[in-house]
Amino acid sequence: MNHTITESNFEFPNQTNIYKGKVRDVYNIKDDLIIMVATDRLSAFDVVMPKGIPYKGQILNQIATKMMEATADLVPNWLVATPDPNVSVGYSCEPFKVEMVIRGYMSGHAAREYNVGKRLLCGVTMPEGMKENDVFPSPIITPATKGEMGYHDEDISREDIIKRGIVSEEDYVVLEDYTHKLFQRGSEIAASRGLILVDTKYEFGKTKEGEIVLIDEIHTPDSSRYFYAEGYEALQTANEPQKQLSKEFVRQWLISNDFQGLDGQSTPHMNDEYIKTVSDRYIELYENIMGESFKKADVSNIQQRIESNVLNYLKTL
């Protein structure tokens, strides 16, 4: 019995190609629609771990779907339907080859760079005198390029993006505006649930009609970092770590096991007990972020379930 999905090789009617990212498999239908399957693959430090995490794909897909619905009045998005807990269907777009990373707090990658003495991140100056998890005076955008097949993202400045022709200045201004609006709305949603949206990333594409739209995931624990609002100030004052709602706990576990995705390093073994704790943590993240109980989908044969639901949906078109 297959209780996770780490690979998919479906053949849907009018399918033209498949693109496989770190977590999602994307099926192009007639070059008009894309079917995005959120797998249970776990990625950290741009490396996909050997084993899948039960319910992770469902969690990411359902958070992203609901967050897109909650921001559609601000920014147009690619989403058309969600025929399966792990699947979203949307308009086919030409993706911009940058991730728009926005940070409200000096955490994660920004903190690691800051702590080794760097004060410039993606062309943006970080103030002196900050400590890890402090709030920035205002949110900063620190973009990353998309590497081949979605791997090995690299920091890049606004100036280099425009200079190298990765995104035109006209389009980049729109991406910046959308990024700030989405982060503001995401922060408001988080605050209503007793959370702080620390940082996140957004990806955008352009439709055949030339409209810039939000694509991929949004405000999930894979693309975002959250803190609990209660206790934040006390922990900062005491110089203690914040309790995070993100996959940072996985990164920290990997670091403690001498892995950061560097050349020559091997991924540490994740036993069944640890994998269950990761799955349980993702469920906790869902319930805190969404403010509702998580309902587990039937995973007795997840591949068959997805294929059947998508085929039934395609018949309605």
Sequence-separated (6 or more) residues with CB below 8 Å from residue 301: 1, 2
Q: Does residue 262 sit within a domain?
A: no
- Of 68-72, 114-118, 136-140, 263-267, the poorest mean pLDDT is in 263-267
Pick the most confident of 20-24, 29-33, 82-86, 217-221. 82-86
Q: Does residue 28 sit within a domain?
A: yes
Answer yes or no: do 175 and 112 share one domain: yes
Rounded Cα–Cα distance for residues 33 and 53 (Å) = 28
DSSP 254-291: HHHTT-SS-TT--PPP--HHHHHHHHHHHHHHHHHHHS
Domain finish residue from 245, 261, 281? 245
Q: Does residue 106 sit within a domain?
A: yes
Mean pLDDT of the region 199-227: 94
Instruction: Convert the pLDDT of each residue in 3-16 to its tens digit.
Output: 899 999 999 999 99
Q: Does residue 263 sit within a domain?
A: no
Answer yes or no: do 33 and 107 share one domain: no
Q: What is the pLDDT of residue 204?
A: 97
Answer yes or no: do 145 and 89 share one domain: no
Q: What is the pLDDT of residue 222?
A: 85
Instruction: Tell me which residue range forms the domain holding 117.
Output: 96-245
Q: What is the CATH number of the domain that holds 27?
A: 3.30.200.20
Q: Does residue 5 sit within a domain?
A: no
Q: Does residue 257 sit within a domain?
A: no
- What b/e sequence results for 135-145 when a residue is b if at least 16 CB atoms lie within 10 Å of its CB, and e otherwise? bbeebbbbbbb
Higher pLDDT, 134 or 48: 134
Q: What is the pLDDT of residue 243?
A: 83
Q: Does residue 302 sit within a domain?
A: yes
Answer yes or no: do 106 and 215 share one domain: yes
Q: What is the CATH number of the domain that holds 166?
A: 3.30.470.20
Answer yes or no: do 184 and 136 share one domain: yes
Predicted confidence band of residue 2 (pLDDT cuts 50, 70, 90): low
Residues of the chain above pLDDT 70, percent: 97
Instruction: Convert the pLDDT of each residue in 96-148 to its tens digit.
Output: 999 999 999 999 899 999 999 999 999 999 999 999 999 999 999 999 997 65
Answer yes or no: do 55 and 158 share one domain: no
